[in-house]
Structure 1
Amino acid sequence: MDGGTGVRVLRRLALWVGLPLVVVLAAGWTWYRVSDTGKRWRYEDRLSSYCGGVLPVEETSALTGLGTDSFRNDLRRGGSRTYYEFCWAADLYVTVSRIPGGVRDGGLSENDLRFYFPHEGAHALPSATPLGGGWRGYTDVQNTVAALTCRDGGSVVVTAQGDGVEDDDQAPGGRARVGRDRVQRLADLTTATAARAAERWGCGAKVPAGPPAPPAVSSAPEPIPLLDGTCAGIDTGQDMLVDWAWETQPDRNALEEHCVLGTWQTPYQGDQEGRLYSFSASYGPSALEERLRSQDRLDYEPRHQKSPYRASAQCPGDTERARFSVAPYDATPHDKKFATAAFKAFVRHAVERHGCGDLRLPD
């Protein structure tokens, strides 16, 4: 076989082998781009490095689908002790934070707590429903927070800011109806992310065995003939203006608890209108955030200027003292005698439910 013949044979062989290979590669690429399995592979690959790799695939895809176009604003901030991952997924802002134990020795300030408990609408209604299922955290429909306590006393805290309200459907009275399935998916996402972050960051946290189980969330205040949740123990008959209450069912794993009392004399609009008293309790990392956020304003006030509507207690498993207050801070209740009695009742029942000690009430 001369040289020219050999070249022709080699060309034919290359054509016979190359064309099928090109076809196979093209088919494989097309399958990778359009098939559900290919989409999932790309999705998992993107999540492995996005947001510090702490977002779980199943729970994230339940809210975003398998598209990655919304994965942006991936930020990491902080130092070696306190840091957080912030990222955007679909219509959610997700913050995954690590805060240390021994906060008083560490000298943390408000600016160090770059993880944040969202305050938008924090005292509107609905508010702070426990996650349930043994998980520590809450959902107020627009924000969902989950926390795990680390072996060294620090915490991993996950916040997902995303609306759980169905805009196209309304409850009686013209108020938006809560999307129960979405509230559950947000709870699933925050708890699974907290567990994944705790494992990756060597937190050594004890993770509940089952999923969260947030109770049904109502967007409307209720009449007050029976108060058996976070408002239990308050004698509303002492104030003739109190017509309605909004309370959550108590939970030993709560980060925040609220009891809101209001009047129909001012129409309820889903915000502060119609609200007479809003009693709040913060536990664990939420209490830490509350203390650091308010210490410049409160801890250095002259004693005679301090608000009578603040208290604290030491609760089991927490290095930070639980904090109790009437919100907002600048509120001036119209009946101070009732406000004082109601606040003390709210605090005492909360302390009893959580098994706290060393209660420090105002004079």
Structure 2
Amino acid sequence: MAIHRRRVIAAGVFLGMVFMLPTGHSWYEESREQRAGRELLRDACGGVLPEREARAILGGGPLKGSSDSVRGEEGLGRKDEPLEAGCLIVRKKPEKAYGFEDASIGVSLHGTRAPGGGEDGERERPDDPYPAFYPDAPVPLPGGWTGFLSARDAPYEDRGTAAVFLDCAGDRRDLLVTVSVRVGDTGLGDPAHRIRIGRLATATARNAAQQWGCEARFGERPRTVPLPVAEDVPLGEADGTCEGVPARGRTFARAWESDRGGAPQEVCSVGNSGGTPLYSLRAFYGPYATSARVALGKRYSFEKTIPGRTPSGTLPDGGLWATAACPAPFAGETALFTIEPLGREREKSTRGEQAYERAALKAFAEASAEHHGCSAPRLP
């Protein structure tokens, strides 16, 4: 009987071990994936991606990623080759063998173009790190940062882009950190999601500054981040990017604007009382002004006078541009202000429209330049 009992106990222990094997195997795989994820986040983008903020967006689950080669490992670059680094981190749903990733983070880090680069400094590149034109009005990152959040809506995704610009002390190039985030089911309408993007961008900027020797002024950890949607208000009541832009009857009676803050890009749209935007006014500072000149130069390469290359002028498709000299953090870059008609192609502005364009650009450029501490704009 004792021998029989020992056999029963041994069989029970064996069966228990058999039933426990799948659980143990699952735990081992999960632990291995967690370690691999931590290593991936630790090494991504030259080691400056903050794990806590990245995981707040990516969540749990397996990760995969890739990193661009880092150029300028010894600093932001004092010679011809500025810092360039980037990475992409993706989380896929375990049950998905095909289809779209569940969440992704793309980061690019750049030592800015050398101030006053001229033709060489304004050379166009396919992967321009300073995209000048976003479909939605960018909103400034709060807390004293020089940066903004913008959105790009596309099928099957809602992508948020946050950029942080750091003015580095001394003779080093400045530092630009751009973070692009996509989460399948979470849009920018969720305030918590916007905060997570803002915190990821600002924490990455802090780490990158330490990594590459950029002594700069930092802002505070974001507690709120506005929604990057232009607010529709009566033009006379505008107190953001459209403040001071004149109205003209019912033709120019509405404004679509956002706060100014420290954003290196500003957008103001004006339109009629029926809710149709008719003009877009934009301000570009620092490297974004350089990028805007490149984009305008490409668009009007067949013209004798390239918009933005002279202090002020008239756009071939209607509209105007103006410029201003600015102090830090945009010292060495000439700010650019434009007003362009919407929904028109190769139509010259009438005298009445030209008069309004000048008045609107003057008010917009002067208010924006004053806000950023720049000189009085040179107007057409």
* TM-score, length of structure 2 as denominator length: 0.70
Residue 143 of structure 1: CA displacement? 2.3
Take 2:24 and 2:216, find their aligned partners in 1: how far apart are those partners? 43
Aligned to 2:252: 242
**Cα distance change of structure 1 residues 139 and 104 upon mapping to structure 2, 3 Å threshold:** same
Aligned to 2:304: 302
Q: 1:326 aligns with which of 339, 343, 348?
A: 339
Aligned to 2:215: 204
- Contact between 1:134 and 1:212, CA under 8 Å: does it hold in 2? no
Q: 2:370 aligns with which of 349, 352, 356?
A: 352
- Contact between 1:110 and 1:289, CA under 8 Å: does it hold in 2? no
Q: Provide structure 1 residue ranges, at least 5 long, that are not aligned to the other structure.
A: 1-26, 169-176, 269-273
Give, as a single letter, the amino acid of the residue that structure 1 aligns with 2:264: L
2:267 counterpart of 1:258: yes
Give, as a single letter, the amino acid of the residue that structure 1 aligns with 2:145: W
List per-residue Cα deviations over 1:32-86 (Å, max 9, x = no partner): 6446xx76544322212223222111111110013343x3243237673242314
**Cα distance change of structure 1 residues 223 and 91 upon mapping to structure 2, 3 Å threshold:** farther
Aligned to 1:63: 57
Q: Provide structure 2 residue ranges, at least 5 long, that are not aligned to the other structure.
A: 1-22, 73-80, 91-102, 152-159, 307-312
3-state SS, counterpart of residue 269 of structure 2:
strand
Take 1:247 and 1:350, find their aligned partners in 2: how far apart are those partners? 13
**Cα distance change of structure 1 residues 215 and 164 upon mapping to structure 2, 3 Å threshold:** farther
- Contact between 1:309 and 1:325, CA under 8 Å: does it hold in 2? yes
- Contact between 2:254 and 2:271, CA under 8 Å: does it hold in 1? yes
Q: 1:75 aligns with which of 68, 77, 86?
A: 68
Q: 1:159 aligns with which of 153, 178, 181?
A: 178
**Cα distance change of structure 1 residues 297 and 220 upon mapping to structure 2, 3 Å threshold:** closer
Take 1:306 and 1:219, find their aligned partners in 2: how far apart are those partners? 26
Residue 216 of structure 1: CA displacement? 4.8
Q: 1:178 aligns with which of 189, 198, 211?
A: 189
Take 1:347 and 1:183, find their aligned partners in 2: how far apart are those partners? 29
Take 2:212 and 2:341, find their aligned partners in 1: how far apart are those partners? 36
Aligned to 1:87: 88
- Contact between 1:144 and 1:186, CA under 8 Å: does it hold in 2? yes
**Cα distance change of structure 1 residues 112 and 227 upon mapping to structure 2, 3 Å threshold:** same
Residue 191 of structure 1: CA displacement? 1.2
Aligned to 1:50: 44
Give, as a single letter, the amino acid of the residue that structure 1 aligns with 2:46: G
Take 2:37 and 2:375, find their aligned partners in 1: how far apart are those partners? 48
Residue 164 of structure 1: CA displacement? 8.2
The alignment's C-alpha RMSD in Å is 3.6
List per-residue Cα deviations over 1:264-318 (Å, max 9, x = no partner): 64xx6xxxxx320110001122223223443455699435984261111111212
Number of matched pairs: 314
